[in-house]
């Protein structure tokens, strides 16, 4: 049985808790309790590296103060516990994201079955919801698509349902990679190629559409490479961005010939669609 650690983090600015959660999810933390100033983050003991946590908190030392404590969780099947609380997510009448144990809904245009393994991208987070919502207005028919930081693979699977014919999904998290492979199989989406930590698909190829549901810092660090991976007149759809950071993202995007086409908001989060000029 998998042994989990609970990392309790107390932050000075609760408005930034979602930023910290997004960053931690990139480091292998796979479930969270957000209580404002207190965040309980859970990670497999074998994946925990205190040096990485300290490095992350040091990066934000000028933004918020944070203290933390670590405890070992009781011996329990936490994945089973999490699955039992997994709820289906409906994005308008366009898409239903559900687990295999949820009832199908034929009145919804598209259904995606996600095996709940705690990887990021189940539709419960505002950013994933926004990405799915905005995808319905983009033409994917016969397009090449890169899902960069694919999480569960939900966006790549959505692209497949919308008619894309060449789809690559990459992530640097082994848990996300395995989750994506399983969800590709469950959704009969074998056209999607899933790869672990292989940025050759970002640096050496070009796409009609890039899907990038990333935290702010990762997006800022990679947007110049993403821009190069886009064909002329192509589309970059992003989220994982707090609304307060949208002007910074737009400024850096413009420096890389990416212009804003459309924006949608949900809670504190924004999704931005860019086109390459």
Phi, psi at residue 15, to the nearest 5°?
Answer: -65, -15
Query: Is 107 within the bounds of a domain?
Result: no
Query: Is 212 within the bounds of a domain?
Result: yes
Residue 134 shares a structural domain with residue 215 = yes
Pairing between strand 4-11 and 38-44? antiparallel
For the domain that residue 127 is a member of, what is the CATH number? 3.40.50.150
Residue 76 shares a structural domain with residue 124 = no
Q: For residues 125 and 220, what is the distance between their CA atoms, to the nearest angstrom?
A: 20
pTM for this one?
0.74
Q: Would you put residue 103 in left (φ > 0), alpha (ψ -120 to 50) or beta?
A: beta
For the cut 70, the answer to whether the pLDDT of residue 187 exceeds it is yes
Residue 266 shares a structural domain with residue 176 = yes
Q: Would you put residue 272 in left (φ > 0), alpha (ψ -120 to 50) or beta?
A: beta
Q: How many percent of the chain have pLDDT more than 70? A: 91
Domain boundary among 80, 108, 139: 80
229-266 tens-digit pLDDT: 999 889 999 998 888 889 999 999 999 999 999 999 98
Residue 134 shares a structural domain with residue 229 = yes
Residue whose token pair is 């028919």: 141
How far out from the chain centre does Cα 185 lie?
19
For the chain, report the end-to-end CA distance as a whole number of angstroms.
52
Domain total for the chain? Answer: 2
Domain boundary among 20, 49, 80: 80
pLDDT at 81: 58
Residue 176 shares a structural domain with residue 270 = yes
**Could you give the residue ranges of the DSSP H alpha helices within 13-151?**
17-25, 50-59, 78-84, 126-135
What residues form DSSP beta bridges with 31?
Answer: 42
Mean predicted confidence (pLDDT) in 59-63: 86
Query: Is 13 within the bounds of a domain?
Result: yes
Query: Is 47 within the bounds of a domain?
Result: yes
**Cα separation values, 253 from 34, 67, 71, 138, Å:** 30, 34, 41, 19
What residues form DSSP beta bridges with 110?
Answer: 95
Query: Is 88 within the bounds of a domain?
Result: no
Pairing between strand 269-276 and 230-242? antiparallel
For the cut 50, the answer to whether the pLDDT of residue 119 exceeds it is no
Of the candidates 174, 170, 219, the residue with the CA atom closest to the CA atom of residue 199:
170
**Cα separation values, 37 from 25, 73, 120, Å:** 18, 21, 22
34 is in which domain, residue-wise?
A: 4-80
What residues form DSSP beta bridges with 276?
Answer: 258
Q: For residues 153 and 150, what is the distance between their CA atoms, to the nearest angstrom?
A: 5
């Amino acid at each position: 049985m998998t042994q989990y650690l609970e990392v309790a983090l107390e932050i000075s600015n609760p408005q930034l808790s979602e930023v910290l959660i997004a960053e931690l999810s990139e480091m292998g933390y796979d479930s969270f309790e957000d209580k404002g100033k207190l965040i309980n983050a859970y990670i497999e003991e074998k994946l925990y590296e205190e040096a990485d946590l300290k490095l992350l908190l040091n990066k934000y030392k000028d933004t918020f103060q944070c203290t933390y404590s670590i405890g070992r969780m009781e011996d329990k099947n936490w994945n089973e516990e999490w699955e039992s609380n997994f709820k289906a997510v409906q994005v308008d009448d366009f898409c239903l994201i559900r687990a295999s144990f949820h009832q199908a809904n034929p009145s919804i245009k598209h259904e995606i079955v996600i095996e709940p393994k705690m990887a990021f991208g189940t539709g419960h987070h505002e950013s994933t919801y926004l990405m799915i919502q905005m995808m319905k207005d983009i033409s994917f028919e016969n397009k090449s698509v890169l899902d960069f930081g694919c999480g569960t693979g939900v966006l790549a699977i959505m692209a497949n349902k919308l008619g894309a014919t060449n789809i690559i999904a990459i992530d640097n998290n082994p848990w996300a990679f395995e989750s994506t492979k399983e969800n590709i199989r469950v959704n009969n989406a074998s056209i999607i190629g899933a790869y672990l930590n292989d940025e050759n698909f970002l640096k050496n190829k070009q796409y009609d559409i890039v899907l990038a549901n990333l935290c702010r810092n990762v997006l800022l660090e990679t947007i110049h490479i993403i821009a190069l991976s886009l064909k002329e007149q192509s589309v970059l759809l992003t989220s994982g961005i707090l609304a307060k950071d949208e002007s910074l993202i737009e400024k850096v995007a413009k420096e890389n010939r990416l212009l804003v086409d459309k924006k949608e908001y949900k809670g504190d989060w924004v999704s931005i669609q860019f086109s390459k000029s």
